Amino acid sequence: MSHPTLQDQDAYLYEQAADRIATLIDRGTLRPGERVPSVRKLSTQLRISISTVLQAYFLLEDRGFIEARPQSGFYVKLRPRDLPPEPKPSNPSLSATEVGVAELLAKVFEAARNPDFIPLATAIPGPDLLPTKPLNRLMAWVARHRGEQGVNYDFPPGNEALRRQVARRSLDWGCSLSPDDIVTTCGTMEALNLCLRAVAKPGDTIAIESPTFYGILQASLGMRALEIPTHPRDGIDLNALEQAIKKNKVKACLLIPNFNNPLGCCMPDNNKKQLVEMLGRREIPLIEDDIYGDIYFGAARPKTAKAFDKEGLVLLCSSFSKTIAPGYRVGWTAPGRFKPQVEHLKSMNTIATATLPQMAVARFLESGGYDRHLRKLRKALATQVQRVTLAVRQYFPEGTRITRPTGGFVLWVELPKSVDSLELYRKALEKKISIAPGPIFSAKQKYQNFIRLSCGQAWSDSLEQALKTLGRLAGKP
């Protein structure tokens, strides 16, 4: 055996350093989503060179322990073996259904609003994640200095400054919208309502993902939902959709291609392109809900299906409710060739969107505050999703499956077949925990043994306790 060379010694040093970090991760001292010590800090702590630390971190990255995030450092990665398996792609029966679980949905959300409850049901970011102070300062400013404009109607298409800001951002998601392409709305919910009514009538069939948050179809719009099998990672099954369209008279599609609620799946860009082309050939409008699009955990924002739309058949809808201020009720739609109808329906639904909230949001976007905020928000939500995932693994019964969302902040949890999620939901309410039971995500009330967990709240002991309780109620011994 030869004496180790200098290079070997270095190798030894970086492997040693990597092992130490790996141990910290294995023991849970460093948790998935947390940042590992900075290169400089570890170099000081272990008295090794910067380049040795970097080698150690690259090794850990290769081994799947950590991941690099641009301009931000290395983070503990959630490894597949840490996780329960994923749910299988959905397989709904392929016939359209009249939508009607209104009462259940109403009850679920009533309970979810009780401030004494641990809120795992509603997909709302916790108060510490919202840019409350800077945004409200802008609101106070516009109220004081742009008050005359503020008390008056900002008729459809809505606030010009806001539309300009949204149009500028559209490059991020592969579009090049102009302010004139956009109509502002009272949140995404109104946008979806207007778009649905612009392209379909009561009784018409709308293809949707399964599972999905299809509450909108209930809005006494009287439309029929056709549930299409959907993969928990790649989104809607395009073959199944094409078959369904051939068999049924589908008037429109209503999809959440980026970070579907509740699956968290994100359609690959190529799938989006195929989807838009397939629907375009048949002149079927696609209503695209992109409300979670800005909350991606990866390196780049996913494109929208709208990016591939040449026919004006994609009606893109989004808002600022999941990112900065649900209570401002500011959303928008770029409804393509249906803009005149959408604009008119907007006049007849709420006349206009509240003026001052639109002005405040426009200024927040213009100032760069929104981008700075999004960077923090994405990191925080990615971490919270990982935390809840790990807790489910730890506290839920054998046989539980869970999604791997790459954005958004909801988890779709498949419990053992024996668990009735409605019963679990009721038992959880007794313990002051609100969850969203699976059947509200299906027009046919499938998903009896699924629940959706929102990860909007910052991690806390009481949240961990609530997940432990849920696991026990679901049958964990």
Residues that bind a copy of itself (CB under 8 A): 102, 105-106, 109, 113, 124, 127, 130, 132-133, 135-137, 139-141, 143-144, 147-155, 186-187, 189-190, 193, 197-198, 201-202, 215-216, 218-220, 222, 321, 324-329, 340, 343-345, 347-357
Rounded distance between C-alpha atoms, residue 57 and residue 55, angstroms: 5
**What minimum distance in Å lies between the beta carbon of 335 and a copy of itself?**
14
Q: Which residue, 36 or 124, has its beta carbon nearer to a copy of itself?
A: 124
Rounded distance between C-alpha atoms, residue 78 and residue 388, angstroms: 12
In 3-state terms, what secondary structure has residue 201?
Answer: coil
Residues in the chain: 477
Contact between residue 331 and residue 338 where contact means Cβ atoms under 8 Å apart: no
Q: Which residue, 321 or 389, has its beta carbon nearer to a copy of itself?
A: 321
SS3 string, 1-64, reads CCCCCHHHHHHHHHHHHHHHHHHHHHCCCCCCCCECCCHHHHHHHHCCCHHHHHHHHHHHHHCC
In 3-state terms, what secondary structure has residue 236?
Answer: strand
Tokens 């392109």 found at = 273
Contact between residue 200 and residue 252 where contact means Cβ atoms under 8 Å apart: yes
**What minimum distance in Å lies between the beta carbon of 367 and a copy of itself?**
16
**What minimum distance in Å lies between the beta carbon of 344 and a copy of itself?**
5
**What minimum distance in Å lies between the beta carbon of 132 and a copy of itself?**
5
Q: Which residue, 50 or 102, has its beta carbon nearer to a copy of itself?
A: 102
Contact between residue 66 and residue 380 where contact means Cβ atoms under 8 Å apart: no
Tokens 């979810």 found at = 112
Q: Which residue, 373 or 401, has its beta carbon nearer to a copy of itself?
A: 373
**What minimum distance in Å lies between the beta carbon of 129 and a copy of itself?**
11
Q: Which residue, 130 or 167, has its beta carbon nearer to a copy of itself?
A: 130
**What minimum distance in Å lies between the beta carbon of 456 and a copy of itself?**
12
- DSSP for 56-122? HHHHHHHTTSEEEETTTEEEE---GGGSPPPPPPP---SS-EE---HHHHHHHHHHHT-TTSEE-SS
Token output for 260: 């579907």
CA count, 13 A, side-chain hemisphere, 99 = 29
**What minimum distance in Å lies between the beta carbon of 161 and a copy of itself?**
14
Q: Which residue, 77 or 197, has its beta carbon nearer to a copy of itself?
A: 197
**What minimum distance in Å lies between the beta carbon of 149 and a copy of itself?**
8
Q: Which residue, 105 or 382, has its beta carbon nearer to a copy of itself?
A: 105
Q: Which residue, 84 or 211, has its beta carbon nearer to a copy of itself?
A: 211
Token output for 140: 């106070």
